[in-house]
Amino acid sequence: MITRISTRAARSTARTLAQHSRASQTCLPIQQCRAAVQQRCYSTPEAPAKPIDLRSQFQSSPTPPPPPPPSEDGIPKPKRSLRPYIYATLCLFLGISAGSYVSLVLAPPPLPQPDSAEDKLMVEFLHKRASNLPVVQSLSEDPAWTSWEAYDTIGASERSKRLTTGPLSGARSLGGYQRIFHNATTGELVSVVWFGGALAGWPGVTHGGLIATVLDECLGRCAIMQFPSRTGVTANLELTYLKPSVTNEFYVARAVPVLEGKTERKAWVQGRLEGLDGRVYVEAKALFVVPKMYATREIKEKF
């Protein structure tokens, strides 16, 4: 028996089949769907990169080292500088040097007594040192000059009674070295003398009266050698102190006769006290006369 389907039912069935066929054509294959599911990521997305600072792009210096670890109390320890230790060492050195110099000037070590073993060694040392002085070498090699040790003609018994050979003897005073040079042609006289440490007025400065004594003898030798009687005394002595003279040093005393106004009983002499470098410390001018009322003994040549 053949069953007839109504026309309306057949149409609806055909429409449904057409829709299914159209949907099957637009759907993806099953394998493609599985691959899409596997590619899907369910983790937290990465954070975007931080923007780069413009200043850091131009910074050429390397990254600074990390700060030092904090101490136990949480405060970082600062670096120790050597500068304070260097300054302290320099100040200590300068202080010790200055203190030693001042102590030697204000309180020098004790000086050897005259004629002692230490004094003889000191005198020998000063004579060796003086022989190397340029002024001594040049005058000793010049045949126009004659030389001798000061007070060479004074006897031993008389030395202790004179100022310059008694109380001022020894290396600590004038006895260290004093040599006389005389030019018979010009009449000029040069005395190279050592001023010892005991001749100080102020600490380290030679007494002005001692300088006057040395210049008086130096100018007196020059004047007496001009007199026929070979004797004379000081009538006038003028000194001009230009700068202080230190002790424990060699000096050169020069004397030149003034020919103007010179007679057999009166003579003017000019002189000065110089350092080894030629600087003038004292200028001097003196008048020497031969006494009329009393007779003085003749002074020998090597005085």
Query: Which tens digits make up the pLDDT trace of 139-163?
Result: 999 999 999 999 888 888 888 888 8
Q: Considering the domain boundaries, does residue 219 fall inside one?
A: yes
Domain CATH code at residue 276: 3.10.129.10
In-domain check, residue 85:
no
pLDDT bracket for residue 295 (50, 70, 90): confident
Mean of all residue pLDDT scores within the chain: 81
Mean pLDDT of 79-94: 84
17 vs 248, higher pLDDT: 248
Residue type, 89: T
* Structure tokens given for 283: 């200028």
Kindly state whether residue 162 falls inside one of the protein's structural domains: yes
* pLDDT exceeds 50 at position 1: no
Query: Is the separation of the CB atoms in 277 and 125 below 8 Å?
Result: no
- Say yes or no to pLDDT of 5 above 50: no
Question: Which domain, by its residues, includes 237?
Answer: 117-289
Give the pLDDT band of residue 251 (cuts 50, 70, 90): very high
Share of the chain above pLDDT 90, in %: 47
Report yes or no on 29 lying in a domain. Answer: no
Q: Can you tell me the distance from the alpha carbon of 34 to that of 248, in angstroms, rounded to the nearest whole number? A: 116
Q: Which phi and psi angles does 258 have, rounded to 5°?
A: -95, 115
Per-residue pLDDT for 214 more than 90?
yes
More reliable by pLDDT, 125 or 47: 125
| Overall number of domains in the chain | 1
Question: Could you report the per-residue pLDDT of 257-280, keeping only the tens digit for each?
Answer: 998 888 999 999 999 999 999 999
Please give the model's pTM, rounded to 2 decimal places: 0.66
pLDDT band at 11 (very low <50, low <70, confident <90, very high): low
**What confidence tens digit (pLDDT) does each residue in 41-68 have?**
445 555 555 555 555 555 555 566 666 6
Instruction: Using the predicted structure, report yes or no on whether residue 9 has a pLDDT greater than 80.
Output: no
d(CA 124, CA 152): 17
Does 282 map to a domain?
yes
Q: Specify if 103 maps to a domain.
A: no
Task: Decide if 125 is inside a domain.
Answer: yes
Q: Is residue 279 part of a domain?
A: yes
DSSP class of residue 15 equals: H
Q: How confident is the model at residue 2, as a pLDDT?
A: 45
pLDDT-based confidence at residue 287 (cuts at 50, 70, 90)? very high
Is the CB of residue 218 less than 8 Å from the CB of residue 257?
no
